[in-house]
């Protein structure tokens, strides 16, 4: 979400961006099936159901405001149909929003789900600074924003368990993905070549998509069930297309040791300018 880096390790979102993210998240869940109730979970509290006649927007906004005050989260909203579910998860204290689509329908037609998610990411351009789409199988990790270390391939350029990278996503990306939403801070180092499609969006954002979506999203890239213990069950070697993609994104990859220098320079500019 739009906002600013604080404390060198997290992102403080703009209140207007939070409000727009909530509206977008509710619309995302409602697009699954308007006839099904929404399940809402706040932090560790048990879920409760909101029916169509309830003030869905009011309840979700209040839940998000409460977590904003307490610094907790996430708030999770889910619409579940027999063959497909959609989830919206927002952790305000980190300025993070997750949109998830899963179920039997996704297994049979992953192309539609990827198209849905990319379109939602495209529509988020006015209020977000960065986003990516990837496939996974560990739902709770996607909700919590911890799927990179557990439900992705090995990330050689950084420790994916560490959270400070989230404060620098307006300048650096965590890895190469099949679809990413970039912003002004990434603009000087967009990937080039025939493997990428680059689309200019609202608010100076850029959508970058790989020309072979099946390689990223058909389910063969990341093993089902993730990597619960890479020590005993090592990561497979990265495929050649991922190695090439990481090379294409190398100038803006978050690397251990790189962002602190950037944060220090940014801090100097803050003090020098009135």
pLDDT value of position 262: 46
- The larger pLDDT score, comparing residue 91 to residue 261, is at 91
d(CA 133, CA 154): 17
d(CA 180, CA 244): 16
pLDDT value of position 7: 60
- The larger pLDDT score, comparing residue 54 to residue 126, is at 126
pLDDT, tens digit, 9 for 90 and up, residues 193-235: 899 999 999 899 999 999 999 999 999 999 999 987 777 788 8
SS (H, E, C) the chain: CCEEEECCCEEEECHHHHHHHHHHHHHHHHCCCCCCCEEEEECCCCCEEECCCCCHHHHHHHHHHHHHHHCCCCEEEEEECCCCEEEEEEEHHHCEEEEEEECHHHHHCHHHHHHHHHHHHHHCCCCCCCEEECCCCCHHHHHHCCHHHHCCCCCCCCCCCCCHHHHHCCCCECCCCCEEEECHHHHHHCCCCCCEEEEECHHHCEEEEECCHHHHHCCCCCCCCCCCCCCCCCCCCCCHHHHHHHHHCHHHECCCCHHHHHHHHHHHHHHHCC
Residue 138 structure tokens: 């560990």
pLDDT, tens digit, 9 for 90 and up, residues 17-67: 999 999 999 999 999 977 788 999 987 778 888 887 889 899 999 889 888
Please calculate the CA angle 134-23-2 and round it to the nearest 5 degrees: 65
Mean confidence (pLDDT) of the chain: 87
**pLDDT exceeds cutoff 70 at 258:** no
pLDDT value of position 114: 98
pLDDT value of position 8: 61
Most confident option among 60-64, 130-134, 201-205, 259-263: 130-134
Among 29-43, 93-107, 109-123, 125-139, the minimum mean pLDDT is found in 29-43
pLDDT, tens digit, 9 for 90 and up, residues 68-93: 766 667 999 999 988 999 999 999 88
Indicate the pTM of the whole model. 0.88
């Amino acid at each position: 979400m739009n906002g600013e880096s604080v404390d060198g390790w997290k992102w403080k979102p703009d209140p207007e961006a939070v409000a727009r993210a909530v509206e977008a998240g509710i619309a995302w869940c409602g697009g699954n099936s308007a006839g099904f109730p929404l399940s809402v979970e706040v932090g560790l509290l048990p879920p409760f159901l909101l029916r169509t006649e309830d003030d869905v927007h009011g309840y979700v906004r209040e839940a998000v405001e409460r977590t904003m005050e307490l610094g907790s989260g996430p708030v999770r909203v889910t619409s579940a149909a027999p063959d497909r579910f959609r989830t919206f998860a927002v952790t305000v204290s980190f300025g993070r929003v997750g949109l998830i689509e899963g179920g039997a329908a996704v297994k049979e037609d992953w192309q539609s789900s990827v198209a849905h998610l990319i379109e939602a990411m495209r529509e988020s351009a006015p209020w977000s600074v960065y986003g990516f789409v990837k496939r996974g199988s560990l739902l709770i990790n996607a909700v919590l924003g911890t799927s990179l270390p557990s439900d992705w391939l090995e990330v050689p350029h950084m420790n994916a368990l560490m959270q400070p990278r989230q404060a620098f996503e307006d300048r650096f990306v965590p890895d190469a993905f099949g679809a990413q939403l970039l912003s002004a801070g990434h603009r000087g180092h967009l990937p080039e070549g025939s493997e990428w499609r680059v689309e200019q969006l609202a608010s100076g954002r850029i959508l970058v998509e790989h020309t072979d979506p099946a390689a990223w999203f058909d389910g063969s890239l990341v093993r089902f069930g993730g990597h619960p213990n890479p020590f005993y069950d090592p990561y497979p070697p990265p495929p050649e297309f991922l190695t090439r993609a990481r090379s294409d994104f190398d100038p803006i990859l978050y690397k251990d040791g790189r962002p602190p220098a950037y944060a220090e320079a940014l801090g100097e500019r803050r003090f020098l300018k009135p």
